[in-house]
Amino acid sequence: VKLILGVLAIGVLSVLLLSCENEQKQKRPNILFIMADDHTSQSISAYGTIFGDIFTTPNIDRLANEGMIFNNVYCTNAICGPSRATILTGKYSHVNSYFKNESGGQFNEKQWTFIKALNDNGYQTSLFGKWHLGSEPVGFDYFKYHNNKSQQGDYYDPLYNENGKNVREEGYATTLTGDFILNWLENGRDKDKPFAALLHFKAPHRPWKPEEKYKDLFKGIEMPYPDNFNDDYKGRELTAGDTWMTMDYFNRIDMKVTAPEGLEGKELWQWKTHGNNPDEAWLPEGCKTQEEARKWKYQRYIKDYLACVKSVDDNVGRVLDYLDANGLAENTIVVYTGDQGFYLGEHGWFDKRFMYETSSKMPFIVRYPEKVAAKSQSNDIITNADFAPTLLDFANVDVPEAIQGRSFAENLQGQTPADWRKSYYYQYYEYPFWHHVQPHYGVRNERYKLIHFYYNMDVWEFYDLEKDPNEMNNAIADPAYAEIIKEMKIDIVNHQNNLCIDKSLGVMRTMTDAELGLVGGH
């Protein structure tokens, strides 16, 4: 009898334990990671924009109202593929090996990613929209990604790869991507398991084609210009002053005007130049001077860009409504971000790449009602390498040691750890295409930024962000900052050592002791 009772007791206990474990697993949060390509915080009303009531993002703002908005989340290499690779792996470009966006480049899909880890630990995983890593996605139960034009895709009637098969869909990419995820949430997934979905909109990437219904959204309005639209690049002639991303570099496809003679109907890559050589910069109809042309181009650009964002915002709204209607809002971590920042006319530019604030800063908003306070804010310095460990932390999945990022789960709950980082390291490699931005590395701390442009030049820049938030005044030679600069050079080396940057890779030049201020008369 004792034996029978004993066996029974063990049986009951294990059933109890099992159901407890199941409950634990059931309780694990869903993850909805929304990322829009090139979507920058100057076009999200929750961050404050120069557009006032002319343009708002009510649905993205809703996430900020109900969650935490971040003011200092940085991309460690501000360009598409590398940012995505860092987000997936929690590692810098030189470790995950995806430095550049080069067409034909391929992400090493054999390596660890947080999606694989979630999938291995019972999560239903999916990807919708832009992948852009050259490889086929691994670790997803379901995927449907843009699969033409080096995986950049099209705005209209896009070609997708759906679980390994190419399909062309009719319609507008942003709305289709919204349809795909709604369909998967409702019919595609195993509802007994938690989900982790990557919703990666192609918009608002170049060539900024708005949805039909938003084509005339800003008709007759003169959009405001950013303060430093007319930057003269003084003190930054070789770096900011020598790019291919000023208004002059918009081509006719970007501006939706007729192609140059003989090239009608051809794809952009078949045109003579991708942008326009500014010496040959074309004048839009009605413009008499290059000055007028720059403003005309900005107007067309900003209107199309914001119209593209409008569709993204609408589709974020559709998905949030679905979560509400299905009782999923409380237990779902919703992240909203862009793969880097982007210039909306600041410094006279479009595109990204620089370590300057506008391009290295990512919009980042998290809603997770169970753990994150509504209307909260964070100024902590966080990087895109930190996303993976944070999401795993909330999902109760082990974070491998090789991860370079750090979980900010506590920061999200309003408790910044005492030893949280005070600065972060950045490095950009792709040159000269597409936009002729010199390779550079640097550190940014709570107030200052030090950058070294190193590849075929040796130029240092230093900014006091409190006094000069727009980074117009390169204060590298200002004796008032000499001591700080010296300390920050040492900080660069410390970061490089911690991050295992192998200087023999030839991706960067080693600083001499003299440059570091460790010897000589500095």
Binding mask 88-127 for ligand SGN (x = CB under 6 A): -------------x--------------------------
Among 351, 380, 491, 515, binds ligand SGN (CB under 6 A): 351
Residue 303 binds what, of Ca ion, ligand SGN, none (CB under 5 to 8 Å, by partner type)? none
**Phi/psi of residue 293, nearest 5 degrees:** -60, -40
Smaller CB separation from Ca ion, 92 or 195: 92
Q: How far apart are CA 482 and CA 437, in angstroms?
A: 26
Kindly state the helix (H) or strand (E) to which residue 311 belongs, with its residue range: helix 290-325
Count helices and strands (H / E) in the chain.
12, 16
Q: How far is the CB of 479 from Ca ion (least distance, A)?
A: 39
Q: Which of residues 280-309 bind ligand SGN (CB under 6 A)?
A: none
Backbone conformation region of residue 360, classed left if phi is above 0, alpha if psi is from -120 to 50, else beta: alpha
DSSP codes, 363-406 = PEEEE-TTTS-TTEEE---EEGGGHHHHHHHHHT-PPPTT--S-
Mark 21-58 as b/e (b = at least 16 C-beta within 10 Å). Answer: eeeebeebbbbbbbbbbbbbbbbbbbbebbbeeebbbe
Task: Decide if residue 430 touches Ca ion (CB under 5 A).
Answer: no
Q: How far is the CB of 38 from Ca ion (least distance, A)?
A: 4
Q: Which of residues 326-345 bind Ca ion (CB under 5 A)?
A: 339
Among 189, 200, 206, 440, binds ligand SGN (CB under 6 A): 206
Q: Which of residues 38-57 bind Ca ion (CB under 5 A)?
A: 38
How large is the angle between the packed helices 173-183 and 290-325, nearest 10 degrees?
10
Task: Decide if residue 312 touches ligand SGN (CB under 6 A).
Answer: no
Q: How far is the CB of 314 from ligand SGN (least distance, A)?
A: 21
Task: Decide if residue 380 touches ligand SGN (CB under 6 A).
Answer: no
Q: Single out the residue of 261, 290, 192, 240 nearest to residue 457, CA to CA.
A: 240
CB 199 within 8 A of CB 313: no
Q: Which stretch binds ligand SGN (CB under 6 A): 162-170, 199-207, 383-391, 406-414?
A: 199-207
Smaller CB separation from ligand SGN, 346 or 351: 351
Q: Which stretch binds Ca ion (CB under 5 A): 76-84, 88-96, 101-109, 476-484?
A: 76-84
Among 36, 80, 319, 362, binds Ca ion (CB under 5 A): 80
Smaller CB separation from Ca ion, 67 or 210: 210
Tell the burial category of 521 from Cβ atoms under 10 Å away from its Cβ (0-12, 13-18, 19+). exposed
Which SS3 state, helix, strand or coil, does residue 132 take?
coil
Q: Which amino acid is at 215?
A: K
Tell the burial category of 325 from Cβ atoms under 10 Å away from its Cβ (0-12, 13-18, 19+). exposed
Q: Residue written as tokens 């750090």?
A: 406
Q: Which of residues 407-436 bind ligand SGN (CB under 6 A)?
A: 434-435
Smaller CB separation from ligand SGN, 69 or 302: 302
Q: Single out the residue of 169, 204, 203 nearest to residue 183, CA to CA.
A: 169
Residue 84 binds what, of ligand SGN, Ca ion, none (CB under 5 to 8 Å, by partner type)? none
Other C-beta atoms closer than 10 Å to the C-beta of 356 total: 25
Q: How far is the CB of 37 from Ca ion (least distance, A)?
A: 4
Among 268, 373, 484, 493, binds ligand SGN (CB under 6 A): 268
Task: Decide if residue 443 touches Ca ion (CB under 5 A).
Answer: no
Residue 361 binds what, of Ca ion, ligand SGN, none (CB under 5 to 8 Å, by partner type)? none
Q: How far is the CB of 127 from ligand SGN (least distance, A)?
A: 16
Task: Decide if residue 79 touches ligand SGN (CB under 6 A).
Answer: yes
Task: Decide if residue 38 touches ligand SGN (CB under 6 A).
Answer: yes
Tokens of 47: 């961050």
Task: Decide if residue 75 touches Ca ion (CB under 5 A).
Answer: no
- Residues engaged in binding Ca ion (CB under 5 A): 37-38, 80, 339
- Residues engaged in binding ligand SGN (CB under 6 A): 37-38, 79-80, 101, 132, 205-207, 268, 274, 351, 434-435
